[in-house]
Amino acid sequence: MARDFSDKIRSKVRSGALPIPRELPTKQFVGRGTNRACDGCDELITPEQIESETDLDGRTLRFHAVCLAEYYGILSDGHAPTLLTMQLVKQSPLCGACISAASGIDVGDIERAAIRIEPTIALNRDIALCKGCGRWTLVYSILGPRKK
Ligand SMILES: [Zn+2]
Ligand SMILES: [Zn+2]
């Protein structure tokens, strides 16, 4: 069953029915469902379920929490380096768990994404306080564009 909504969201991203945003959404509202259709799987989001509403490319989209996670996961397949950069520009230093929670990048993909942006952007890995969760752990931050 899980594959069904995943495939549906994937094909919507491919067809353009769901936007591939250039920037991460800045606003997101989470609440109880109001029996409106999910923009991911097209099923109703009932009051027993969690609804995530987000503004993307000037549109307001509604998702089941799992569908939104899936959507971000699909977006981050090819956009993880961009998402990572944007997240760290918005807030840093951040640990892997906080980067993942905010951007939808799998924790396991963060280091790979970091390696991909390093030729153009100087990154710092440090043991320090994470701005997100306040834990003392391995955190990432952006030092700035790499100078030639
Ligand atoms: Zn859904
Ligand atoms: Zn953190």
- Does one domain contain both 91 and 121? yes
Identify the DSSP state of 39: T
Angle subtended at Cα 60 by Cα 54 and Cα 65, rounded to the nearest 5 degrees: 40
Total structural domains in the chain? Answer: 2
- Kindly identify the ligand whose nearest atom is closest to the C-alpha of 136: 2
More confident residue, 85 or 45: 45
Give distance in angstroms: CA of 17 to centre of ligand 2: 33
Residue 36: pLDDT band by 50, 70, 90 thresholds?
A: very high
Q: Over the stretch 117-145, which tens digit does the pLDDT of each residue have?
A: 887 788 999 999 999 999 999 999 988 77
Which ligand is closest to the CA of 64, given by its number?
Answer: 1
Q: Which range marks the domain in which residue 100 is found?
A: 78-145
Q: Do residues 65 and 86 both lie within one domain?
A: no
61 and 122 both lie in a single domain? no
CA of 39 to the centre of ligand 1 (A): 7
Q: Which ligand is nearest to the CA of 94?
A: 2
The rounded distance, in Å, linking the Cα atoms of 121 and 3 is 36
Please report, as a single letter, which amino acid is at residue 19. P
Ligand index nearest the alpha carbon of residue 128: 2
User: Is 16 in the same domain as 58?
Assistant: yes
What is the whole-number distance in angstroms between the Cα of residue 36 and the centre of ligand 2? Answer: 33
CA of 65 to the centre of ligand 2 (A): 21
pLDDT digits (tens, 9 = 90+) for 49-81: 989 898 887 889 999 888 887 887 777 666 788
Expressed in angstroms, the distance from the first to the final Cα of the chain is 50
Nearest ligand to the CA of 2 is 1
pLDDT class of 24 with cuts at 50, 70, 90: low
DSSP 37: E
Of residues 26 and 52, which shows the higher confidence score? 52
